Structure 1
Amino acid sequence: MPVYVQHETLNRVSDVFNAEALWQAPGLALLNRRPLLRDLLERAPREQRGRAATRCFSHVTLVLPQDEVDDDRHLTRGARVRDLAQTLQALHQKDFGDLLGPDEVRYHVLGSEALQPGQVEVKFGHAVYLPAPNEEVQYTVSVSRDSAIWQPVCPIYPNGRLTVLGADTASATHAVPGWPFAVDGSILLINDGPDAPLELQVRPKEAFECSFDPAAGYYTIRARAAETAGTPARLLLKVTPAQAKAAPAARPASAPPAPRPPAVWKTRARSLDDAELTAVPVLHRAAPAPVPSQDATYAPVLRQRVSLVALALPRLSRYRDTGAALLEFGLAPDLAVGPLQPGGLLGFALDASDAVYAVTADGRQRITVPNRFVPRDGVDVRVLAPSAQMAERYSAIVCLPQAPGLPVTGGARHVFGRAAPMLAGLRVLDAGCLRGADGVDLGGADRLGLSRLAFGFEAGADGYRVTPESTTQALYHLDDKLGFVAAIAVQEDQPYLVPLGHHIVAGHYVLRVEA
């Protein structure tokens, strides 16, 4: 594989700002055992015919000890750094002018904490490009390991043809944060100008699989299974055109209407009658089962199922008077939903201004809605925008990659709510997910938008018959694709029928009714 970046370290340099001492040793070069900058450029030409060099590299990066650069900035406002770059540029032009052609000589000097006093790093090569003073960025490159948190890597300029990404800057143009592959692996970005698409290649080719997802807009690079034990490492890479400017945002149909007065928690005295109504509604208490006789006939009990398919994130700005400032939850590696935990696969957070964030081990980052995440292969998490009819109450709907479910007995009436035991296992935000501005746990997040007794339901062969149990509880009917159908209101004559496969939204929970 060719050397894309020439990287050398000059040691025992008495004055790192002495351009002549860095460029060439005094006297005969044959007697100098320590190669300096001019020798390095001669030994690694850009192009050659036979043994004769026909072109040399013209862009060079020098890295000095950080203390030297800081002292120069404090004492001379960077004058010695500028003089060093200008003098080396003149020496380069003087000694290699016949090998430069139309190329312009450019030097860039920066500092590094990793260097010891008297050390100077030199970088040049096919993948080292220094932009002109007024050259604008053409692309920006960012990477992610989970599709949620994206970290910037580097810009790409119109005249920068080759960029190499890798584990460190010793053999690459830029180091990738959290590089998951072997040290000898690299990603090549070839830019043939503004009229040609950016090309991505991997090296060595046999060690990686690379694919592009047009819908998501990023590349997925995986180590081949034969190269790794267990789950193959992967890296997501996104190339964003810098010239693309977002159009003025029109008011979306799902934008919330004028804010209403925020809801306030009310303390309710828990009486014995209330407790009985929560556990078993008095008006629908089943009669005692008769004692079966010896020759009784047993009929199968119709059992159906309710699954939690998504979580509807409320607008915390509606509950400002409650002190709620942060709602957080996460997906564990086994895809179980609950409070954020270290080592979780993917999490989400909602702040008091209704901004939605993705949370992973790499940090947290604000996201747009709608969105889509693939925290690992085979796990797809969609974030949907609520419909216009629900946007007043909700900021986003997070679809769960694995829908937990519980059985329900058909033909019997049940109640779902904050104080009802039925389907309590699906209320995954009931504890440890809501915090105040000071970080104090405020208890169950279900108190935001879910009544103690939200709705009653009865499973049947044609669907679920739903009856609101609270006049303040907002209930919504969504179809099988989570599209809005109607708001479920109290009906005096008959319950509201939700067909099988459709969804009920109550509080944070999007429940699918199943046969």
Structure 2
Amino acid sequence: MPIYVQHEVLGRIQDVFNAEAIWQAPGLALFSRRPLLRDLLERSPREHKGRAATRCFSHVTLMLPQEEVDDDYHLTRGARARDLAQTLTALHQKDFGDLLGADQVRYDVIGTSSLAPGEIEVKFGHAVYLPAPDEKILYNVSVSRDSAIWHPVCPIYPNQRLALIGGEGSEASFTAAGWPFGPDGAILIINDGPDSQPVVQMRPKDAFDCRYDPRSGYYTIKSLRDAPGGSPRLLLKIGRTSAMPAARHMAGSQMATTSAPYTAPQPATAEAIASSRGVAAGAPMAPVAAAKPAVWQSRSGAAPIDLTAVPVAASHKPANQFGESDATYAPVSQQRVSLVALALPRLSRYRDTGAQTLELPFDRSLTLSADAQPAISFVVDAADELYACTAEGRQRITAPATFTPVDSRAIRLLPAAPEMADRYRAVVCLAQPVGAGVAMGARFTFGRNSPMLSALRLLDSPRFLKRGNGSGAASADRIGLSRSAFSFEATAKGYQIGRLSTTQALYHLDEKLDFVAAIADAAYLLPNGHHLVAGHYVLRFDA
């Protein structure tokens, strides 16, 4: 594999801000001196013809001990670092002027905690690029292990041709958090400018499988080598910034490298580092105005629940009598109601209840679970902010989005329709719907006090809802779902729906989960295959 990044550590330098001591050793003791920056650039040219160099590298990153950089910033506002970059630029132009052509010499001085006193780390090469002072970011690159928590890696600029991404201690230009492939693996991103899509290749090629999913908008990279615990994977996302126009997909187009005046780098603060790497915190969504919530009240004098007989599903076939067989058994015509999604409420509507967070944990099969180590959890807080939580951490998310915390299975997050946005923050589509059969010709009810379809009320437990202000535990169903929410009856033309509580919000969604109407008190015919939203539950009514 070609060496895309030349990476060396120079030691025994008394003053790390002395440009001459870094560039070239004094005297003519060529055989006894250790290699310094000038020697490294001379031994590793960018282009050569035979043994003669025809072009040299012009972008160099210098990493000094972090304590030295901090002291310089505190005492001189970073003046010594700026002088070091300017002096090295002048020496570079003087000694290699005939090998530069139109390339602009650029130096960057940063700090790192991995160096000992008197050491300097230098990086240059095909995949080392320093942007011009006014150059805008074209792409922001980030990685994830679970598609929920994304870690920023690096920006890519319009004139930047290559970027090499690897793990800690590898010979790469950028380090990815949670790198699972070892020091030999690397991701090479090739950029031909704003008019072309970036190309992603793996190094070594035969050791990885790299595929792009246009629906999710990221690359899935898997190792083809056997490893304990299964083949590791990494997700790579290359997002175009809003400051740059969309690519026109011009085949073979290239952007010529242009020169820009050199400006010495400024001392790097934490905010400046985050900005230069393209890390931008997401702006919170504006809260939607909501009416005063309906808060549950204790009903000590309420009548006891009437546990009426529940029809048996068709799958529960009775045992054959003497002389009967399966050929003579005819089941009763059955309809089916399925829970296909969970609607995340706006908890700001329920502040009087003390509700702080609602958390939906999903295990590795992407079914709702109370496991202490879920594969992914979706959380909505009292400020109506939405988060995804995994073993990698916690990150704010927005809908629509698709998450693949485990291979071959995905879970979708949809935005709430504008007509429902005063009550709901988002809709989580279940990877595997939960269904139950119902008989035709009988009217049933759905709600907190109804035993019918109680198996579909997955959130009827206090473990999903966290309350504060000394409030006791309570079922999450007490937010948004009435004791008797609605009635339904299966007919030949669909389902007859009737709202039983004046405070219960019911919404009709079509077969694609698009909003159709809000259901009022009048009887409502829901077509087969369409959905009804009540409380947290998105139910599909099938023939």
TM-score by structure 2 length?
A: 0.81
Contact 1:504–1:511 under 8 Å retained in 2: yes
Name the structure 2 match of 1:313. 344
The residue identity in structure 2 corresponding to 1:182 is G
Name the structure 2 match of 1:99. 99
What pairs with 1:325-474 in structure 2 (closer than 5 Å)? 325-338=356-369, 342-430=372-460, 431-436=462-467, 442-459=473-490, 463-474=494-505
Distance 2:305 2:110 in 1: 73
Distance 1:281 1:471 in 2: 26
The residue identity in structure 2 corresponding to 1:193 is G
Contact 1:432–1:441 under 8 Å retained in 2: no
The residue identity in structure 1 corresponding to 2:530 is H
Name the structure 1 match of 2:256. none
RMSD across aligned C-alpha pairs, in angstroms?
A: 3.1
The residue identity in structure 2 corresponding to 1:501 is G
Once the two structures are superposed, residues 353-397 of structure 1 have per-residue CA deviations (whole angstroms, 9 ceiling, x without a partner) of 333222222333333333333333332322223334433322222
Q: Secondary structure at the match of 1:209?
A: strand
Name the structure 2 match of 1:8. 8
Is 2:213 the partner of 1:182?
no
Name the structure 2 match of 1:141. 141
- Structure 1 residues 139 and 408, CA, compared in 2 at 3 Å: closer, same or farther? same
* 1:269 maps to which of 289, 297, 300: 300
1:319 shift after superposition: 1.7
Distance 1:192 1:445 in 2: 52
Name the structure 1 match of 2:258. none
1:462 shift after superposition: 5.3
Name the structure 1 match of 2:273. none
Contact 1:7–1:170 under 8 Å retained in 2: no
Q: Secondary structure at the match of 1:115?
A: coil
Distance 2:419 2:77 in 1: 59
The residue identity in structure 2 corresponding to 1:402 is Q
- Structure 1 residues 32 and 349, CA, compared in 2 at 3 Å: closer, same or farther? same
Is 2:65 the partner of 1:65?
yes
1:229 shift after superposition: 6.5
- Structure 1 residues 41 and 13, CA, compared in 2 at 3 Å: closer, same or farther? same
Contact 1:165–1:175 under 8 Å retained in 2: yes
Name the structure 2 match of 1:503. 531
Q: Secondary structure at the match of 1:89?
A: helix
Distance 2:110 2:418 in 1: 52
- Structure 1 residues 194 and 510, CA, compared in 2 at 3 Å: closer, same or farther? closer
Query: Which moves more between the two structures, 304-313 or 434-443?
Result: 434-443
- Structure 1 residues 461 and 195, CA, compared in 2 at 3 Å: closer, same or farther? closer
Distance 2:141 2:287 in 1: 34
- Structure 1 residues 158 and 490, CA, compared in 2 at 3 Å: closer, same or farther? closer
- Structure 1 residues 32 and 483, CA, compared in 2 at 3 Å: closer, same or farther? same
1:496 shift after superposition: 4.2
1:125 shift after superposition: 0.8
1:262 shift after superposition: 2.5
1:342 shift after superposition: 4.7
The residue identity in structure 2 corresponding to 1:473 is Q
- Structure 1 residues 441 and 402, CA, compared in 2 at 3 Å: closer, same or farther? farther
Distance 1:192 1:295 in 2: 78
Q: Secondary structure at the match of 2:348?
A: helix
Q: Secondary structure at the match of 2:451?
A: coil
- Structure 1 residues 5 and 388, CA, compared in 2 at 3 Å: closer, same or farther? closer
Distance 1:380 1:509 in 2: 20
Q: Secondary structure at the match of 1:403?
A: strand
Contact 1:146–1:236 under 8 Å retained in 2: no
- Structure 1 residues 436 and 64, CA, compared in 2 at 3 Å: closer, same or farther? same
1:165 shift after superposition: 1.0
Contact 1:263–1:321 under 8 Å retained in 2: no
Contact 1:310–1:509 under 8 Å retained in 2: yes
- Structure 1 residues 264 and 213, CA, compared in 2 at 3 Å: closer, same or farther? same
The residue identity in structure 2 corresponding to 1:159 is N
Is 2:129 the partner of 1:129?
yes
What pairs with 1:124-273 in structure 2 (closer than 5 Å)? 124-168=124-168, 170-224=170-224, 230-231=230-231, 233-244=233-244, 259-271=290-302
* 1:323 maps to which of 346, 354, 360: 354
Q: Secondary structure at the match of 1:307?
A: strand
| Residue segments in structure 1 that go unaligned for 5+ positions in a row | 247-254, 285-292
Distance 2:230 2:221 in 1: 16
Contact 1:137–1:242 under 8 Å retained in 2: no
- Structure 1 residues 132 and 258, CA, compared in 2 at 3 Å: closer, same or farther? closer
- Structure 1 residues 193 and 130, CA, compared in 2 at 3 Å: closer, same or farther? same
1:33 shift after superposition: 4.6
Contact 1:154–1:174 under 8 Å retained in 2: yes
The residue identity in structure 1 corresponding to 2:304 is A
Q: Secondary structure at the match of 2:420?
A: coil
Distance 2:292 2:149 in 1: 35
1:474 shift after superposition: 2.0
Contact 1:256–1:391 under 8 Å retained in 2: no
- Structure 1 residues 231 and 62, CA, compared in 2 at 3 Å: closer, same or farther? closer
Contact 2:164–2:174 under 8 Å retained in 1: yes
Distance 1:15 1:315 in 2: 59
- Structure 1 residues 444 and 299, CA, compared in 2 at 3 Å: closer, same or farther? same
The residue identity in structure 1 corresponding to 2:207 is A
Once the two structures are superposed, residues 81-137 of structure 1 have per-residue CA deviations (whole angstroms, 9 ceiling, x without a partner) of 222222222222222222222222222111111111122111111111112222222
Is 2:543 the partner of 1:512?
no
Contact 2:72–2:78 under 8 Å retained in 1: yes
TM-score by structure 1 length?
A: 0.86
Contact 2:354–2:471 under 8 Å retained in 1: no
- Structure 1 residues 152 and 234, CA, compared in 2 at 3 Å: closer, same or farther? closer
The residue identity in structure 2 corresponding to 1:513 is F
Query: Which moves more between the two structures, 467-476 or 154-163?
Result: 467-476
- Structure 1 residues 4 and 121, CA, compared in 2 at 3 Å: closer, same or farther? same
Contact 1:59–1:124 under 8 Å retained in 2: yes
1:409 shift after superposition: 4.9
Name the structure 2 match of 1:113. 113
**Would you say how many aligned residue pairs link Structure 1 and Structure 2?**
491
Contact 2:223–2:231 under 8 Å retained in 1: no
Distance 1:362 1:443 in 2: 29
1:227 shift after superposition: 7.6
Query: Which moves more between the two structures, 115-124 or 344-353?
Result: 344-353
Contact 2:224–2:231 under 8 Å retained in 1: no
Distance 1:439 1:139 in 2: 47
1:232 shift after superposition: 5.0
Q: Secondary structure at the match of 2:69?
A: helix
